[in-house]
Chain A
Amino acid sequence: MDATGIGAAVRRKEDFRFVTGKGQYTDDIHRPGETHIHFVRSPHAHAKIKSIDTKTAKTMPGVLAVLTGAELADDKIGNLICGWLIHSKDGSPMKMAPHPALARGKACYVGDPVAVVVAETLDAAEDAAEKIAVDYEVLPAVADPAEAQGSGAPQIHEIAPANTIYQWQLGDDKAVAEALKSAKHVTRLHIVNNRLVPNAMEPRAAIGDYDAGNDSFTLWNTTQNPHVARLVISAFVGVAPEHKLRVIAPDVGGGFGSKIFIYPEEIVCLWASKKVGRPVKWVADRTEAFIADAHGRDHVTEAEMGFDADGRITALKVKTIANIGGYMSTFSSSVPTYLYATLLSGQYDIPHIHCEVDAVYTNTVPVDAYRGAGRPEATFVVERLVEVGARELGLDPAELRRKNFIRKFPHQTPVIMAYDEGDYEASLKKALELADHKGFARRKRESERRGRLRGIGFSTYIEACGLAPSQAAGSLGAGVGLWESAEVRVNPTGSVEVLTGSHSHGQGHETTFAQVVADRLGIPIENIAVIHGDTDKVQFGMGTYGSRSAAVGLSAVVKALDKIEAKAKKVASHLLEAAENDIVFKDGKFTVAGTDKSAGWGEVALQAYVAHKFAGAQLEPGLKEGAFYDPVNFTFPAGCHICEVEIDPETGITSIAHWTAVDDFGTVINPMIVEGQVHGGIAQGVGQALLESAVYNKDGQLVNGSLMDYVMPRADNLPSFTIDTTVTKCPGNPLGIKGCGEAGAIAAPAAVINAITDAIGSEDLAMPATPQTVWAAIEKHRPGRMAA
C-alpha cells in the first residue's frame, strides 16, 4: 500500500469543488431559453377527476402550455412501470395497475400529479396553476397497510381486488409449523416498521431539452442510474428512442435509493420541452418532495421464533404486509420480497424459515427502496426476536447470538442466500471490547444514581449487497441484469480516464476508483479522471444502489485493467524488443525479466498510439479497454453494532450514550470514506428508531409533510461513533470487496430499540421511540402508575 493505493485514506479529489461552492447540481444548470414547470398535484388521497378546466390558466401572463393526462395519452406517452415481476404463491403475476405520468380519470394519493403549467418564470407557472380548476369527486381512502385488504377499504385499482398486489411466500411453511410446535419456547412479536421519507438534501430536479434540429432529447436529472432512466423512458414510456435521448446526472446531492426510480416529473419535462420547443426545468420544493419522492419501509409484521432448550433457534415464521402506496414504483415489488425475506436468516444457523408477504396498494405516496431496502426490515425482525428471545429465556443476548452464529462457510440458508464468507464471532468480540461491555453494569448503576435508566442493545446484522448476479436476479423476476460496466482509456500521455456505469452521489467514486487504478498502474492519482453520469460519454451501466459500486463497479474496472495490462505488455514487448512473456509490469514500469531493460508507463502509452514499433497486422494501435462484470454471488457484509442509551424516565427523552460498530466489509479501498458511509448509515437508522415517521391520517393526508414537522436527525441528536472493522475477504470478486453503503441503516434501528427496551424493561415500544412514546411505555408498565 502506498499513499494513494488500495487501503489508503486518500482525501477526496471531488472535494475542492464542493467546499468552494463549485459543484454543479441540476438546479445550478441553466439552458438558453429555459422555461419553468409547475406540477398541479391532487390534494385528495383518492378522488375521481371529473374534469380539468385549463382555459383561464392558459391565458395567464407568461404561460406557454397547460398540459394534462389527456394530452399525454394523445401523444401516446406510455405508463411508468415496475421492473421486477413477482408472482403470488398461487402462480399469478403481480397486479400492476397503470401508472400514467399525469393522472387520468383518478388520483390515487395526495401529490399525484394531475396537470402542469409551463411558463416563462416559475412565479408565472405557479400563478397560472392556481387558475386550473380540477373537479374532484372525493372517494374514501385507505392509508394504513393493515387496513388495505379489509372489506371496508376502498378499491384503489380495478386490477387488484382487495388492494392486493401479490401474496408471495418463501420457504417451507410445513417444516416451520412443525418446528414451532415442538419448540421449547416461542418468541412472538408484532412489528411496525415505520414509514420514512428519504430526504436527500438536494431535492429532485429535471431539465428536459428537445433539440428539433436533431430530433433528440437531453435530460439533466438527479438520478442514481442515468442509463436505467434512459432505458425505461425510451423503451417503456416511449418519449424518445434510446439513441435519441441523452441522460446526464451531474453532481447529485444524495440519493439513498430515492433517486433510483423513474418518476413522472422527468418524463413530463422531456415531453413538455418538445411541446413548447424550449428547455423545461423542474426543481422540487422540499414540501413537494415529501409527496413526490418514493417513501421507504412501511411494513406491518407478525413474527415468531422458536428456540430449543439450549437456546438454539429452530424456526422463524414471518407474515408481513408491505405498503406499496398508490402505484408500483420502479423496484417496489422486489424490496419486501427478495431483498427482505432472503435475509431473514441473519447471522444465524436457522434450519427452517417461512415468510409470507402481502403487498398492498394504499392511497399514499409510492413506496420503494430506501437505504438498505428490505434488509433493514429483515434485520429489525430477526434482531428484535433474538434479543427478546434471550430476555424471555433468561440468557445473555450476546451469548444467545454466539450459540446460533453460522460458523462454517459457505452456508446455504433456507431462504435462497448462500453466504460465502464471514466471521461473526470476530465482529461481536471486537465490538464487546470496544463498547466496554464489562463496564456496562457499573455505568448503569451510575445512571440509576442520577435517576436515569440505562440500556444496551445489540444488532448483529447481515446484508446481501453487490447486487447482483444477473441470471439469479432474472430467475427471481428482475427485468434487468445487474452487472456493471467500465472502460479504461489510457491517453497517449499516459493519463487515464475511467468511465464507470456506477454513479456517485456522495460516495466518492472519483477518489476510490482512481485509487484502484493508481494502485494497479503505478501512476499518480492526479493523472486519473473518473467519469460517470452521462449516457453520451459512458457505456451502458446499471448505476449505484444496494452497496454495489465497489463490489460490482470496481470489479468491472479491475477486469478492464487486466485487459489494459495485457495489451500494454504487448506494446512493451515491441518497444523493448523482447518476448511478451518476458515482460514484467510492476510499479508503473515494464521490465524485461532478468535484464535492466525497461520502459516507463508513459513511454508504452505513447507507443501504443504512435504505433511506430509494431505493424498494424501484429497489433492494433491504441490502449483502451472495456469490461462488463457480472457478479458470481451477492456479497455479505455483516457486523455488530452496540447501542447504549440513557433515558430520563420523567420525560422519556432518550440520549445515545455510546455507539460501537464493528463491520466486515471485506477489502476496504479508502477507510476514511468507508467510515463516513457507516456514520451516515447509522444516523439514518437512528433517525428511523428515534425520530422519523411519515404519518398519514385516516383521510390519507400526510400530516407531517415538511421539514417543520418531519423530524430529521440533527447534530445534537447523535453522538460521535466508535467505528472499527474486521476483515474476511469476499471470495467472489477480484478485490474481495463486500460493500459498505447501507450497513449502518440496516444495523442501527434494532440496536436502538433493543437498548431502549432493555432500559425500560418492556418490549411494548413502537418506532420512532419519541420521548412521548418512551415515556408512555415506561408509565404503562410502572406499577401503581396510571397508564398514559
Chain B
Amino acid sequence: MPAVKLTVNGKPVTADVDPRTLLVQFLRENLRLTGTHVGCDTSQCGACVVHVNGKAVKSCTLLVLTADGADVRTIESLANGDKLHPMQEAFRENHGLQCGFCTPGMIMTAVDMVNRKGNDLDEKTIREELEGNLCRCTGYHNIVKAIAAGAKAMGGGTQAQAAE
C-alpha cells in the first residue's frame, strides 16, 4: 500500500493507505477525527468541508494520496481548548445549528468565506457562497446571521486568527 504524509491540524501524519481512500475516510477512519461528516456521496452537501493548504475543500472529492504533503485543517482545529473560534461562537450565539450534522462543514466554509471575502459580508454574498453546503434543519436563516456575525468578530478578535 502506498504511503501518504501530510500535516493534519498541525501534527505530522504518515500512513500506508489503500489508494482508494478518500481524504474524508482517512480523517474519520484512520485519524478518528469524526467532526468531519459525510452527508452525501455526490459532493453536494458540504458536510465534509475541511481546509487544505488554507482553502475550503470537500474532503470527499479528494483521494488522500492527492493530498500528500498538504496542510489539512479540520473542525477540531478551530477552538483553542474551551475557547471557541469566533465563527463557532457566532453559530452558537445565533442558533445557526440544530442537529449539528452539517455544522462542521458550514463553519469551515464560513471561515474560508471570510478569508476570501473579508469581514463585512452581506446576506446575498453569504447565501451565494453557501451554494455548496446543505442544511435541512435551519432554513439557513440563522446560518446566514451567524456567518455575518462571525465574519465581523473574526475581524475584531485576536484569538480567532491564532487558532486558525
CA–CA, A25 and B38, complex, Å: 11
Name the segment of A327-335, A380-388, A504-512 touching the other chain: A504-512
- Return the chain A residue nearest B126 by Cβ: A715
- Flag if A680 contacts B138 (CB, 8 Å): yes
Contact string against B for A residues 238-273, beta-carbon threshold 8 Å, 1 for contact and 0 otherwise: 000000000000011110100000000000000000
Given A19-B103, A25-B101, A715-B127, 19 new contacts (CB under 8 A): A15-B97, A17-B100, A18-B103, A19-B104, A19-B107, A21-B74, A23-B100, A27-B38, A251-B100, A253-B101, A256-B136, A676-B138, A680-B138, A681-B139, A683-B136, A714-B130, A715-B131, A720-B123, A721-B139
Partner of B98 from A254, A713, A718 at Cβ < 8 Å: A254
Q: With A679-B138, A714-B134 in contact, do A254 and B92 touch (Cβ < 8 Å)?
A: no
Taking each of B32, B74, B134, which has the highest tally of chain A beta carbons within 10 Å of its own beta carbon?
B134
Which residues from 34 to 56 on chain A have a C-beta closer than 8 Å to any C-beta of chain B? none
Most buried by B among A15, A30, A679: A15
User: Are A123 and B20 in contact, with the CB atoms below 8 A?
Assistant: yes
- The CA-CA distance from A199 to B126 in the complex, in Å, is 23
Which residue of chain A has the shortest Cβ distance to B129 in the bound complex?
A715
Task: Give the interface residue-count category, chain B.
Answer: 35 or more
Is residue B154 within 8 Å, beta carbon to beta carbon, of the partner chain?
Answer: no
By a CB distance below 8 angstroms, the chain A residues around B134 are 201, 707, 712, 714
A203–B98 CB distance below 8 A: no
A362 to B118, CA, bound (A): 53
Contact between chains at A680 and B35 (CB < 8 Å): no
Interface membership of B76, Cβ < 8 A: yes
Q: Does chain A have a CB within 8 A of B160?
A: no
Contact B97 A18 (CB under 8 A): yes
Assembly CA distance A716 to B144 (angstroms): 10
Is A672 in contact with chain B by the CB < 8 A criterion?
yes
Query: What total of A-B pairs shows CB separation below 8 Å?
Result: 186
Mark contacts of B56-93 with chain A using CB atoms, 8 A cut-off: 1 yes-contact digit, 0 otherwise.
00000000000000000011101100001000110111
Binary per-residue interface labels of chain B (33-45) against chain A in the complex, 1 for a CB within 8 Å, 0 otherwise: 1111111111011
Contact B139 A683 (CB under 8 A): yes
Complex CA gap A201/B20 in Å reads: 24
Q: Mark A693-713, 1 if CB is under 8 A from B, else 0.
A: 000000000000011100011
Contacting pair A679 B103 (CB below 8 A): no
A679 touches B136 (CB 8 A): no
A81 → chain B closest CB, angstroms: 28
Shortest distance from the beta carbon of A286 to any chain B beta carbon, whole Å: 4
Residues 135 to 153 of chain B near chain A (Cβ within 8 Å):
135-145
**Closest residue to B142 on the A side, CB-wise?**
A676
Q: CB-nearest residue of chain B relative to A29?
A: B34
Q: Are B139 and A679 in contact (CB under 8 A)?
A: yes
Which residues on A sit within 8 Å (CB–CB) of B1? none
* Cα(A79)–Cα(B99), bound, Å: 31
Interface size counted on chain A using CB atoms at 8 A: 58
Residue of A nearest to B76 (CB): A21
Q: Closest CB-CB distance, A245 to chain B, in whole Å?
A: 25
A21-B99 CB under 8 A given contacts A679-B138, A712-B134, A721-B139 = no
- Taking chain A's interface residues, is the majority helix, strand, or loop, or is none over half, making it mixed? loop
Is B102 an interface residue when CB atoms closer than 8 A count as contact?
A: yes
Q: What distance in Å separates the Cβ of B140 from its nearest Cβ neighbour in chain A? A: 4
A14 within 8 A of B: yes
Nearest-CB residue, chain A, relative to B90: A19
| Cβ–Cβ contact A716 & B130, under 8 A | yes
Among A20, A506, A714, residue most surrounded by chain B Cβ atoms (within 10 Å): A20
For residue B118, give the distance in angstroms from its CB to the closest CB of chain A. Answer: 19
What residues of chain B lie closer than 8 Å to A673, measured between beta carbons? 95
Partner of A253, one of B35, B78, B99, B126: B99
A22 at the interface (CB under 8 A from B): yes
Which chain A residue lies CB-closest to B147?
A715
Jot down 11 A-B pairs with beta carbons below 8 A, ordered by A.
Answer: A19-B92, A21-B104, A24-B34, A25-B34, A27-B34, A252-B99, A254-B136, A682-B139, A684-B136, A706-B40, A720-B141
| A674 to B44 CA separation, bound complex (whole angstroms) | 28
Q: Which of B20, B88, B95, B131 contacts A676 (CB 8 A)?
A: B95
Q: Tell me the nearest residue of chain A to B134, going by C-beta.
A: A712
In the docked arrangement, what's the CA distance between A83 and B2, Å?
52
Q: Determine whether the beta carbon of A286 is less than 8 Å from that of B99.
A: no
B74 / chain A contacts, CB cutoff of 8 Å: 21
Contact of A202 with B99 in the complex, beta carbons under 8 Å = yes
On chain B, the residues within 8 Å of A721 by CB distance are: 139, 141
Contact B103 A505 (CB under 8 A): no
